[in-house]
Structure 1
Amino acid sequence: MTAPTHPGDRPSLRTFVSALAVTGVLSALAVCAAVAVAPGAARTPLAGGGAVAAVVLSVAVATAAHARRTARDTRQRLEGVTQDVGRLLQQQARTTEEAQQEQQRLVDELARQRAELTESFTAERDRLVAEGTRELDRLRQENARLAGELEQARRERSAAISATSNAAARMQALATATLADLRAMEERHTDEDVLHDLLHLDHRTAQAGRLADSIAVLTGARSGRRWARPISMESILRGAMGRIAGYRRVRVHSTSEAAVAGHAAEGVMHALAELLDNAANFSPPTAEVHVYVEEVPAGVIVSVEDSGLVMGDVQLRRAERAVAGDVSGLGGLTGTRLGLAVVGRLSRKHGLKVSFRPSARGGTGVLMLIPQSILTGPAPAEPAAAVPPAQAVTSAQHATPAQSVTPAQSVTPVPAPRPPSVTRRHPASPSAPAWSRTPTSAG
């Protein structure tokens, strides 16, 4: 197996063979000529030496020719390679330049896009900041406006409460003065029909006075009546009965000799009046409301039992919150809810505990615990005239047109002591209110 020859080796070989042949021929001619002219004895050595010299010369000349040819070919190939390298270098330079140009173009494009994005982001940020500033300014203005409106509403509310308190005080004073006038008229007149009308007005005025007291309690004002001495439980109950329209249907069962301290007597009487009015309003027109009084170590428990409809869970929870004093506002208080809110305010003021339970009579039972802290022993027996008019309209006995009775008795009002010649007759029972409980009435 022979190594492959380069395409340029064949011309060099032919050059070597041609040079060898030409040199050999010329050398042979020269040797022959030299031998021919040489003496006979020297011809043989000369022919041998000439032949050797001719061979050597031929080989040398052929080798020199071959080397020259090879050098020329090598030089040509080198020049070709050099040209190829030059072309490659030029191509590489052009490629590098194009790559640099493309890179520069990409860098410029990226820089342009970055500048556009930065400008867009800056513009959007400035726009958002400007909008945020405007929105903050608007919110600050809105908050300032709302704060102003809230402050104005507070001032108006305070002014309304103050005006309502003043109006309630004036209504209390007017009711007190009217009751005093009616009592004076009752003392002067002996005609039964006149007394009947006067007692009817007396009872209506007492109810109006209770409403004025309720407004005063809800607005934070003080009650229009103040007592200078303890008031017995019997008189407290009779006073509460005298302030409701359905007093004729109330039956009281009490043997308690306890008395309520003078500073709390009006509040306890008012709270019981609201509970009795609630029970009477939500009972059938002919049904009785029974009141039981029980003395316990913690104080006195007054139970009010009606035979109306039982309150649902929602109404019961609402009523319990109301009597606990948990009333956030007065705007939605109407009817019975207004009365229960009054009970709640009075309970918090005097430490009363009010709770609800199903009544054995089919309706709702209300328990009021009057604590020992506002109870005293039996109230001293003194005539109604001993209570100054500035402190109370009348004594507890005179303030109520009802007395403690048993279920078998009829409830009749008990006025203040009269001359023996004066005969009393009470007004006819007012028209009975609707008694059906509604979903919102008990709350």
Structure 2
Amino acid sequence: MTASPSPLRPSALALLITAVAGGAFSTAAVAAAPSSVGTPLAWFSGSGVLLLSVAAFAVTWSSCTARMRRGLISELRAELAARDGHIARMIADAARDTAAHTAERSRLADEHAAALEQLTQAHAAELEGLAAAQSASRERLAGELRRAQSGRAAAMAAAANAAGRMQALATGMLADLREMEHRHADEDVLTDLLHLDHRTAQAGRLADSIAVLTGARSGRRWAKPIVMESILRGAMGRIGGYQRVRLHSTSDAAVAGHAAEGVMHALAELLDNAANFSPPTAEVHVYVEEVPAGIIITVEDSGLVMSEVQLRRAEQAVTAESLDLAGLSGTRLGLAVVGRLARKHGLTVSFRPSARGGTGALMMLPQELISRGPAEAPAPGTAAPAPAPAIPAQAAAP
């Protein structure tokens, strides 16, 4: 589109010419008129010349603007016609491209469908082969798992059977030893018998631990509650370092008969750990505290201080739901037994740093296991089911 000339120049020229001509004519008229009408005539002619000049400017401006607009309209029409032609050509080209693209897309779709069908068939065949292989593998693994479970169950049953026989043997040996203790008055013989009694009690605890881990029943049962003093001393009598254990208990409470053996066994494991991981001359202190929730038995040693990680691992060992017998050894074996007994009887076991420089183990007995009624102490020498092992004379007053 070409640039149109501005209407300002011709309009200004018309204004100038009109003003000059009108001014000259007005000046001549005023000069020729009498002096009495000169002044009004001058004002009137000046006003007329001004109005005429403005009219000339307006007419010239309108004329030039109209001519310019007619030129612009003509140019716009020509440009629109050219653009319409270009758009028509573009539409025609797009239609041809669309038709070609549609044909190409149809051809590609057919090829893609054929290739997809081939791939689907090949994949289906491969999946069938994999499914057959997986089915065979699952069947084989299921068979191996059944055989492994059967072997594990057989091993657990054999271990439980062996543990039961060891329990019965230990119980019988304890009964025999206690009968001998009553028959022999010789101090040397009695000392040897007490030593054998203590060693047999430790073997019985090991048999009980195996029975607990394999799910077998313990051979000891009492019909009446057992006083706390007997529980504590019975646990002492099952460990090797009983002479280093110091009891601090004034509780007159008793533990229900059905749970007395489990509490005694769990406490013996905690005492054994405390004695084994303390210096040979260090003492292990046992405290009994009655609280509204039950009774807390605290075992404190002055051995190695357990780190936060070790404390967490110990608590995990006594709270773990599943048990892997393959990885149990040493302290973990005893803690696993404590965890099984805690879940069975509703005990709560936790660990903390001891004020004596070592580790403190806390075992809480809930109120459901506490009795305030008539209680008894296990009578030594009874037939199976036997009570807790008798405490050697050296442990009677630590």
Report TM bin, short chain: 0.5 to 0.7
Which structure 2 residues correspond to residues 93-108 of structure 1 after superposition, within 5 A? none
- The AA in structure 1 aligned to 2:333 is L
2:208 aligned residue: 213
Matched-pair contact (CA < 8 Å) for 2:219–2:384:
no
Change (3 A) 1:196 1:388: closer
Alignment partner of 1:222 is 2:212: no
Query: Are the aligned partners of 1:238 and 1:401 in contact in 2 as well (CA < 8 Å)?
Result: no
- Deviation of 1:245 after TM superposition, in Å, equals 0.7
Q: Which residue of 1 aligns with 2:317?
A: 322
Higher Rg of the two aligned structures: 1
> CA, structure 1 residues 264+319, in 2 after alignment: closer, same or farther (shift >3 Å)?
same
Q: Structure 1: give runs of 5+ residues left out of the alignment.
A: 1-106, 403-411, 416-425, 427-443
For 1:185, the aligned partner's letter is M
Q: Does 1:390 align with 2:381?
A: no
Once the two structures are superposed, residues 221-248 of structure 1 have per-residue CA deviations (whole angstroms, 9 ceiling, x without a partner) of 1111111221111110000000001111
Q: CA deviation digits over 1:382-421, x for unaligned, max 9?
A: 7826x852332x4x5x62226xxxxxxxxx2349xxxxxx
Determine the C-alpha separation between the residues in 2 that align with 1:199 and 1:179. 10
For 1:124-143, what aligned pairs fall within 5 Å after superposition?
124-143=119-138
**Please, what TM-score do these two structures have when normalized by structure 2?**
0.68
Q: Check the 8 A contact 2:351/2:361 in 1, yes or no.
A: yes
Give distance in 2, aligned partners of 1:391 and 1:359.
37
Give the length in aligned residue pairs: 295
SS of residue in 1 equivalent to 2:262: helix
TM-superposed deviation, 1:120: 6.2
Q: Which residue number corresponds to residue 354 of structure 1?
A: 349
CA distance in 2, matches of 1:255, 1:382: 16
Q: Secondary structure at the match of 2:290?
A: strand
Residue aligning to 1:372: 367
Is 1:401 equivalent to 2:392 in the alignment? yes
Within a 5 Å distance, the mapping from 1:33-432 to structure 2 comes to: 123-377=118-372, 379-380=374-375, 384=379, 388-392=382-386, 394=387, 399-401=390-392, 412-414=394-396
Q: Could you tell me the percent identity over the aligned residues? A: 67
Counterpart AA for 2:280? P
Following superposition, the deviation at residue 118 of structure 1 comes to 7.2
Report how far residue 328 of structure 1 moved. 3.6
- Whole-angstrom CA distance in 2 between matches of 1:336 and 1:114: 71
Query: 8 Å contact 1:240–1:270 — kept in the other structure?
Result: yes
In 2, Cα distance between equivalents of 1:228 and 1:115: 87
Paired with 2:243 and 2:148, the residues of 1 have a C-alpha distance of 44
Cα deviation, 1:274-317, whole Å, max 9, x if unaligned, reads 00001111111111100111112222111110111121222211
**Greater share of helix:** 2
Question: 1:115 deviation in Å?
Answer: 9.0
Counterpart in the other structure of 2:68:
none
- State how far apart, in whole Å, the 2-side matches of 1:210 and 1:134 are: 56
Instruction: Provide the TM-score with structure 1 as the length reference.
Output: 0.61
The answer on whether the counterparts of 2:202 and 2:239 sit within 8 Å (CA) in structure 1 is yes
Structure 2: segments with no counterpart, 5+ residues: 1-102
| Contact 1:228/1:391, CA 8 A, preserved across alignment | no
Cα distance in structure 1, aligned partners of 2:364 and 2:225: 18
- Name the CA shift for 1:252/1:136 in 2 (closer, same or farther; >3 Å): same
- Structure 1 counterpart of 2:395, which letter? P
Q: Distance in 1 between matches of 2:283 and 2:374?
A: 29
CA apart distance, 1:271? 0.6
Partners of 2:162 and 2:376 in 1: how far apart? 36
SS of alignment partner, residue 384 of structure 1: coil
| Partners of 1:232 and 1:378 within 8 A in 2 | no
- For 1:306, the aligned partner's letter is D
C-alpha deviation, 1:193, in angstroms = 2.6
**Coordinate RMSD, CA, aligned:** 2.7
Q: Which amino acid aligns with 1:188?
A: R
Quote the Cα distance in structure 2 between the aligned partners of 1:377 and 1:312. 39
Distance 2:136 2:304 in 1: 53
Measured after TM superposition, the shift of residue 191 of structure 1 is 2.8
Shift in alpha-carbon separation, 1:379–1:413, aligned structure 2, 3 A: farther
Secondary structure, counterpart of 1:331 in structure 2: helix
Shift, 1:163, TM fit: 1.3
CA distance in 1, matches of 2:234, 2:301: 19
Matched residue of 2:327: which SS? coil
Residue equivalent to 2:92: none
Relative to structure 1, the CA distance from residue 382 to residue 362 in structure 2 (aligned partners, 3 Å threshold; closer, same or farther) is closer
- Match of 1:303, SS state, is strand
